Amino acid sequence: MPDLAWMAWTPETAVFFAAIALLLVLMILWGRLDPRNAPRKGILGIATQRGDRLFLSLLSAAFIHLAWIGLAGGWPLWGALLLSVVCAAGVFRFV
Protein backbone atom coordinates (compact mmCIF):
# COMPACT_ATOMS: atom_id res chain seq x y z
CA MET A 1 0.00 0.00 0.00
CA PRO A 2 1.48 3.39 -0.97
CA ASP A 3 2.13 5.98 1.72
CA LEU A 4 -0.48 8.71 1.30
CA ALA A 5 0.46 10.65 4.42
CA TRP A 6 1.64 13.59 2.29
CA MET A 7 -1.93 14.22 1.11
CA ALA A 8 -4.51 16.17 3.09
CA TRP A 9 -7.08 13.39 3.33
CA THR A 10 -9.82 14.82 5.47
CA PRO A 11 -13.44 13.70 5.56
CA GLU A 12 -14.35 16.70 3.42
CA THR A 13 -11.77 15.71 0.80
CA ALA A 14 -13.13 12.16 0.74
CA VAL A 15 -16.70 13.45 0.31
CA PHE A 16 -15.53 15.73 -2.52
CA PHE A 17 -13.93 12.90 -4.49
CA ALA A 18 -16.86 10.58 -3.75
CA ALA A 19 -19.23 13.24 -5.11
CA ILE A 20 -17.19 13.54 -8.31
CA ALA A 21 -17.23 9.75 -8.71
CA LEU A 22 -21.00 9.70 -8.08
CA LEU A 23 -21.52 12.41 -10.71
CA LEU A 24 -19.58 10.37 -13.25
CA VAL A 25 -21.61 7.25 -12.46
CA LEU A 26 -24.85 9.23 -12.76
CA MET A 27 -23.74 10.62 -16.12
CA ILE A 28 -23.00 7.08 -17.33
CA LEU A 29 -26.44 5.91 -16.18
CA TRP A 30 -28.09 8.92 -17.82
CA GLY A 31 -26.28 8.09 -21.06
CA ARG A 32 -27.51 4.49 -20.89
CA LEU A 33 -31.10 5.46 -20.13
CA ASP A 34 -31.24 8.26 -22.69
CA PRO A 35 -28.64 7.65 -25.40
CA ARG A 36 -29.75 10.68 -27.44
CA ASN A 37 -26.96 13.15 -26.77
CA ALA A 38 -27.09 15.45 -29.75
CA PRO A 39 -25.10 18.66 -29.41
CA ARG A 40 -27.17 21.76 -28.81
CA LYS A 41 -26.37 25.46 -28.93
CA GLY A 42 -27.19 27.48 -25.87
CA ILE A 43 -26.50 31.01 -24.73
CA LEU A 44 -22.75 30.63 -25.29
CA GLY A 45 -23.31 29.94 -28.98
CA ILE A 46 -21.21 26.77 -28.96
CA ALA A 47 -22.45 23.23 -29.38
CA THR A 48 -22.30 21.32 -26.08
CA GLN A 49 -23.22 17.84 -24.95
CA ARG A 50 -23.93 16.53 -21.45
CA GLY A 51 -20.30 15.86 -20.64
CA ASP A 52 -19.32 19.37 -21.76
CA ARG A 53 -21.96 20.89 -19.51
CA LEU A 54 -20.80 18.75 -16.56
CA PHE A 55 -17.22 19.92 -17.15
CA LEU A 56 -18.34 23.57 -17.29
CA SER A 57 -20.36 23.06 -14.09
CA LEU A 58 -17.39 21.56 -12.24
CA LEU A 59 -15.06 24.28 -13.46
CA SER A 60 -17.57 26.95 -12.43
CA ALA A 61 -17.93 25.34 -9.00
CA ALA A 62 -14.17 25.44 -8.51
CA PHE A 63 -14.02 29.16 -9.34
CA ILE A 64 -17.07 29.93 -7.20
CA HIS A 65 -15.49 28.18 -4.22
CA LEU A 66 -12.15 29.93 -4.70
CA ALA A 67 -13.87 33.30 -4.95
CA TRP A 68 -15.96 32.49 -1.87
CA ILE A 69 -12.87 31.60 0.15
CA GLY A 70 -11.05 34.72 -1.05
CA LEU A 71 -13.91 37.19 -0.65
CA ALA A 72 -16.14 35.81 2.10
CA GLY A 73 -13.34 35.00 4.50
CA GLY A 74 -14.58 32.88 7.36
CA TRP A 75 -18.11 32.32 6.14
CA PRO A 76 -19.11 28.65 5.84
CA LEU A 77 -18.73 27.05 2.43
CA TRP A 78 -22.40 25.99 2.36
CA GLY A 79 -23.18 29.25 0.58
CA ALA A 80 -20.62 28.48 -2.13
CA LEU A 81 -22.03 24.97 -2.48
CA LEU A 82 -25.56 26.33 -2.90
CA LEU A 83 -24.37 28.88 -5.44
CA SER A 84 -22.49 26.14 -7.32
CA VAL A 85 -25.57 23.91 -7.49
CA VAL A 86 -27.68 26.81 -8.81
CA CYS A 87 -24.97 27.59 -11.36
CA ALA A 88 -24.81 23.94 -12.45
CA ALA A 89 -28.59 23.85 -12.91
CA GLY A 90 -28.32 26.97 -15.05
CA VAL A 91 -25.50 25.49 -17.13
CA PHE A 92 -27.43 22.28 -17.80
CA ARG A 93 -30.54 24.27 -18.68
CA PHE A 94 -29.20 27.15 -20.75
CA VAL A 95 -25.75 26.25 -22.10
DSSP H/E element including 45: none
Number of domains in the chain: 1
Q: What is the mean pLDDT of the chain?
A: 88
Q: Is residue 4 part of a domain?
A: no
Q: Is residue 44 part of a domain?
A: yes
**pTM to 2 decimals?**
0.80
The one-letter code for the residue type at 75 is W
- 9 pLDDT exceeds 80? no
Query: CA angle, 73 as apex, 14 and 65 as ends, to 5°?
Result: 45
Q: Is residue 2 part of a domain?
A: no
Q: Is residue 25 part of a domain?
A: yes
Q: Is residue 6 part of a domain?
A: no
Q: Is residue 1 part of a domain?
A: no
Q: What is the mean pLDDT of residues 78-91?
A: 93
Tell me which residue range forms the domain holding 39.
Answer: 11-94
